[in-house]
Structure 1
Amino acid sequence: MPRSEPPNSPDTDSPAKTGQGQGVSYVEAGEGDAGQRIDNFLSRILKDVPRSLIYRILRTGEVRVNGKRAKPETRLAEGDRIRLPPLQRKTEEQRAAERAAPSRSLREFVDSAIIHEDRDLIVVNKPAGVAVHGGSGLSAGVIEALRATHPELKELELVHRLDRDTSGVLMIAKRRAVLRELHALLRERDMEKRYLALVVGRWPFGAKTIDLPLKTNLKQGGERVVRVHADGQQAITTFKPIQHFGKLATLLDISLGTGRTHQIRVHAAHAGHPIAGDEKYGDRERDAKLKPFGLQRMFLHAQSLTFERKGAKPFTVSAPPPPDWQAVIDKLKQGLK
């Protein structure tokens, strides 16, 4: 570790102080450091110093090896004495904030998925595999990415949620007053939510409404699951077949009368035709038959939202399924020929 050099004692090897504003320090290269470039060596031992700062002090000649100025490509030998200038180190709070902050790639990915924006709302065509918010081992999701990209919007909040593996329409309110209004529409069931789903097997029922209560927080192997249960909350889902792909799968149009956790997934599985690729409620044997057609994830897509705000015309926003979805559908169609 670096060692500090107190004033007027250039060769004293007293321990370095952590934090900001420490003095000149020295560190000695060990046997395992022999042959390593100085820039990589410093990045390894100075984890709380930005890499950009490390290159700046190398460019300006403030890093010296055995009294000589070091360049980034300088290679070390065992026993080399490396002089470091005073460094502005990151605090623990800064490091924690950086760990929690959404990455640049996530911010750009989410921003590119915006399909509608007005003074009240942002609507994203959420990609499958992206969480709507951080948690469960994830530091950030859609809402954190949008807050980081739009710091001027101080009241951004999710209007509703989608499972991580579900793609499609996700709505975010820009103001709390709008959030309260839209939550009221959801409670009163005045917001129409439509989904597309590919289920395994041939759906035999035609148009079918399933009205079965669902209970959450039942544990299975330590994970939260949802089941049809007499003591659960009312849940209503209407399924309408769009296209059959032989006995392999069926494309369904789905509308929700309620908005319970995992509602579509559990009702579809209860009907004997779970969502294709659903690892929690699905059928692995029947999923395996769809792998040759490109099935790699759960095929549930939030297609549209329709509602009417006070004093305004009906508002509808739709999101097309992602390209990988259409590729699987096209292959299934070809398989019917």
Structure 2
Amino acid sequence: MFEDDCLIVLNKPSGIAVHGGSGLNFGVIEALRALRPEARFLELVHRLDRDTSGILLIAKKRSALRNLHEQLRLKTVQKDYLALVRGQWQSHVKVVKAPLLKNELAGGERIVRVSEQGKPSETRFSIEERYSNATLIKASPVTGRTHQIRVHTQYVGHPIALDNKYGDKDFDTQIQTFGLNRLFLHAFSIRFEHPKTSETLRFNAPLDEKIKAVLKKLRESK
């Protein structure tokens, strides 16, 4: 999507890990390093879950990585996601503040739940489009916890379509009849300051054609 001497902006497909680990030898960052053996520095600025698609930032300089991490720490980076969730999202649910606790299971798998012992976590939500048994929402995380959007939507009773950890199997079966075969969570927009020039940059990653076709079918079935 974009590249200069400081950073790369990618639109990551669903199903590809951002880095190796948990039984995976290769992820996006390892693949990039293999493709660019001459690159002295390539590091992930942030992470996306393996099944989440959308915008991913990669720093090409240590100074750029430090700057972007500081922007993330100060919460000046605006990240927006699209998610298809079960049922009719209530219009009054605009913010979810629920502390999240991360547990690691025996096989290294991570599971997150709402807990008073967890870290403060906040996500803002708005409705994009309603369907007969689902809602397309925009989710804007204020904090950046593991699985945050997935757990917050589940917490308020609207799990994301085809979420194999926090989802609803009956809803997933219904949605699969419309052609969905992956987690419907997409990082579609990001806004931040360029680490060198301080220029405000905004990028949008459109939904892929398969996902657009699913939404079209849902629209037609209303």
TM-score (norm 2): 0.95
**Contact 2:22/2:108, CA 8 A, preserved across alignment:** no
1:231 aligns with 2:98: no
How far apart are residue 273 of structure 1 and its match?
A: 0.3
Match of 1:316, SS?
A: strand
Could you say which residue in structure 2 is the equivalent of 1:143?
A: 29
Q: What is the distance in 1 between the residues matched to 2:166 and 2:106? A: 11
Counterpart selection for 1:208 from 53, 77, 94: 94
In structure 2, distance between residues paired with 1:192 and 1:211: 17
Q: What is the rounded CA distance, in whole Å, between the counterparts of 2:106 and 2:61 in structure 1?
A: 38
Query: Which structure carries more relative contact order (alpha carbon 8 Å, separation 6+)?
Result: 2
Offset of residue 262 of structure 1: 0.2
2:62 aligns with: 176
| CA contact 2:11–2:205 (8 Å) conserved in 1 | yes
> Which of the residues 146, 152, 156 maps onto 1:271?
156
Q: C-alpha distance in 1, partners of 2:87/2:161?
A: 9
**Whole-Å separation in 2 of the counterparts to 1:260 and 1:152:** 33
Matched-pair contact (CA < 8 Å) for 2:22–2:109: no
More helix by share: 1
Query: C-alpha separation between the residues in 2 aligned to 1:178 and 1:290?
Result: 41
Once residues 231 and 274 of structure 1 are traced to their aligned partners in structure 2, the CA distance between those partners, rounded to angstroms, is: 22
- Partner residue in 1 for 2:12: 126
2:165 corresponds in structure 1 to 280
C-alpha distance in 2 between matches for 1:235 and 1:211: 6
Count, aligned residues: 221
Structure number with greater Rg is 1
Matched-pair identity in %: 52
**Residue 319 of structure 1 aligns with which residue?**
205
Shift of 1:208: 1.2
* Distance of 2:61 and 2:109 partners within structure 1: 34
Provide closer, same or farther for how the CA distance between residues 274 and 185 of structure 1 changes in structure 2, counting only shifts above 3 A. Answer: same
2:184 aligned partner: 299
Q: TM-score, normalised by structure 1?
A: 0.63
| Counterpart code for 1:200 | R
Q: Does 1:256 align with 2:141?
A: yes
Q: CA deviation at 1:139?
A: 1.2
CA contact (8 A) 1:237 1:255 kept: yes
Stretches (4+) displaced over 3 A? 218-223
Per the TM alignment, residue 206 of structure 1 is displaced from its structure 2 partner at its CA by 4.1
